[in-house]
Amino acid sequence: MKRIFLSPPHMSGKEQDYIAEVFKSNYIAPLGEFVERFEKRICEYTGAGYALATINGTSAIHLALRVLDIKEDDIVLASSFTFIGSVSSILYQNARPYFIDSDMKSWNISPTRLKKAIENSPKKPKALILTHLYGQCADLDKIVKICKENDIFLIEDAAESLGARFNGKHTGTFGDLGIYSFNGNKILTTSGGGMLVSDRQAWIDKARFYATQAKEDLPYYEHKELGYNYRMSNVLAAIGVAQMEVIEERAQKCQEVFSWYQEELAEIKEIKFMPELIGSCGNRWLTTLTLEKSDPKVLISALAEQKIESRRLWKPMHLQELFKGALAEVNGVSEALFQKGICLPSGTDLSQRDVQFISQCIKKVLL
């Protein structure tokens, strides 16, 4: 019996050719032609103006905060229902996170809660980090408007949602800045990697400066500001360029896997799949659902016995010990989703038979 993983890497086949080119040129490090090609491809694909390739998505978010001059005691609004990499850099900057709960319509930030948080905030928040969870779009129409009206910078965490569109426009390109991740389990992977995008060239230039140790433009090593070593290597960018050739295929496959599950599991009445907002088209990076009466832990261990990997949904940030006492606008939605939810294997190399097998195992437990 083969092991079925949640979201394993899926190479296009071109990666090793491009890596071979990198080795031939000996531009193994630090930068090189493929880094530029990868950045250019991301801009062409998403419609973003400018892009900067980074070592991972977390560092891209950190750079976004630096570029926006988020510092000590500044308030940064953020999705509570997200992965830690989305918000840890708020603490790197000694700023104060203010977590916003979700709504049931999108599982992402509730625009109503967001407004409340802005009203209740002890001082004016500077930025919002908005996650598009599991590749499904947040309510961008309302959220962009709220940010504009309140003069709050919008950083889109599109780490999971490359290829997702809202009214035909790519997630990651609505905000002042956006980020993507190419971590091992994402829809595309470079083993580890990230991308910062913006329509404002000055911000991407500034981020590039911070990401390369904040070296002043002088013929010796002069430093006035704190920087980081956050740039992606040319070898990994070569993987990224090869992966970008199949992004549309991969996103379509994730959606197909989702529709297979929908069909196979339709008879289980207690299952509710993650919704999709009207006007949006998520990438369905992971197929996720809630169980209205059964315990997800029981299902997860039953699947593990069949060598099928499944997982709980993200534990909300406002419930994490790390963020004990942090500001939060809570309505119980993300906590309930965490208690009831599970992620199913959603790799882009799954066959319809794999999904049928997984669904059979789920039915044995739930029916």
Contact positions vs ligand PLP (CB under 6 A): 56-58, 82-83, 85-86, 131, 157, 159-160, 181, 183, 194
Nearer to ligand PLP, 82 or 255 (CB): 82
- Using the minimum distance from each CB to ligand PLP, give the nearer residue, 27 or 135: 135
> Can you list the pairs that 219-228 forms with residues at least 24 positions away whose Cβ atoms lie under 8 Å?
228/59, 228/62, 228/63
Q: How many CA atoms lie within 13 A of 250 on its CB side?
A: 26
Nearer Cβ to ligand PLP, position 93 or 359? 93
Nearest-approach distance from CB 58 to ligand PLP, in angstroms: 3
Separation of alpha carbons 303 and 115, rounded Å: 41
User: Which CB sits closer to ligand PLP, 310 or 359?
Assistant: 310
**Min dist. Cβ of residue 56 to ligand PLP (A):** 3
Q: Which residue lies nearer to ligand PLP by CB, 70 or 265?
A: 70
CB of 160 to ligand PLP, least distance (A): 5
The rounded distance, in Å, linking the Cα atoms of 127 and 114 is 12
Sheet containing 75-79: which strands, arranged edge to edge?
50-54, 194-198, 177-181, 153-157, 127-131, 75-79, 96-100, 327-329
| Element housing 59 (H / E) | helix 57-67
Question: 129 or 268: whose CB is closer to ligand PLP?
Answer: 129
CA neighbours within 13 Å on the CB side: how many for 337? 29
Say if strands 153-157 and 169-170 run parallel, antiparallel, or are unpaired: unpaired
Give whichever of 183 and 359 is closer to ligand PLP, judged by the CB atom: 183
Residue with tokens 């599970």: 342
**Which CA distances in Å does 310 have to 197, 256, 330, 335, 367?**
31, 18, 27, 19, 18
As measured in angstroms, the least distance from the Cβ of 119 to ligand PLP is 26
Shortest CA distance to 18 belongs to which of 185, 244, 177?
Answer: 244
Smallest separation (angstroms) from ligand PLP to the CB of 114: 17
Beta carbon nearer to ligand PLP, 183 or 234: 183
List alpha helices for 186-233, DSSP H: 201-211
**Smallest separation (angstroms) from ligand PLP to the CB of 177:** 14
With residue 328 as reference, give the H or E element that holds it.
strand 327-329
Place of tokens 């993983």: 5
Closest CA to 33 of 232, 247, 246: 232
Q: How far is the CB of 183 from ligand PLP (least distance, A)?
A: 4
- Find the shortest distance in angstroms from Cβ 195 to ligand PLP: 10
Q: How far is the CB of 186 from ligand PLP (least distance, A)?
A: 6
Which residue, 83 or 153, has its beta carbon nearer to ligand PLP? 83
Single-letter amino acid code for the residue at 262: Q
Burial of 314 (0-12, 13-18, 19+ CB in 10 A): buried
**Cα distance between residue 71 and residue 362, in whole Å:** 47
CB of 367 to ligand PLP, least distance (A): 32
- Which of 157/329 has CB closer to ligand PLP? 157
Residue nearest to ligand PLP as judged by C-beta position: 57
